[in-house]
């Protein structure tokens, strides 16, 4: 899908997505890790897969978190060798 290490699946007007975005922005900014965001409502396949569970966070293509971001856990996943 992308060469970003972190992908946030979200939707507009989602308070949990706003909080997840803030956490990802902080952690990825500290670690200089590339991340992107996809609005699941803009793609029927993404909406079908993630629509009822947003926010969903993918790290290196694998699902890392659902319904929120635990910053310490995300930081650990991104710094693990």
Half-sphere exposure of 54 (CA within 13 A, CB side): 23
Over residues 49-74, the pLDDT tens digits come to 998 999 999 999 999 999 999 999 99
Show the DSSP H helices in the chain as ranges: 15-31, 44-50, 71-79
Strand pairing partners for 65? 57
Over residues 1-39, the pLDDT tens digits come to 456 899 999 999 999 999 999 999 999 999 999 999 999
Number of domains forming the structure of the chain: 1
1 part of a folded domain:
no
pTM of the model: 0.92
Distance CA 71, CA 23 (A): 6
Whichever domain contains 56, its CATH number is: 3.40.30.10
For residue 35, the enclosing domain spans: 6-75
14 part of a folded domain:
yes
63 part of a folded domain:
yes
Q: Residue 25: CB partners within 8 Å, gap ≥ 6?
A: 35
């Amino acid at each position: 899908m992308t060469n970003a290490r972190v992908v946030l699946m979200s939707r507009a007007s989602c308070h949990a997505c706003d909080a997840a975005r803030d956490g990802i922005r902080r952690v990825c900014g500290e670690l200089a890790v590339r991340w992107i965001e996809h609005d699941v409502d803009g793609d029927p396949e993404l909406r079908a897969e993630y629509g009822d569970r947003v926010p969903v966070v993918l790290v290196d293509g694998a699902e890392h978190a659902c319904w929120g971001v635990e910053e310490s856990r995300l930081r650990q996943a991104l710094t693990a060798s």
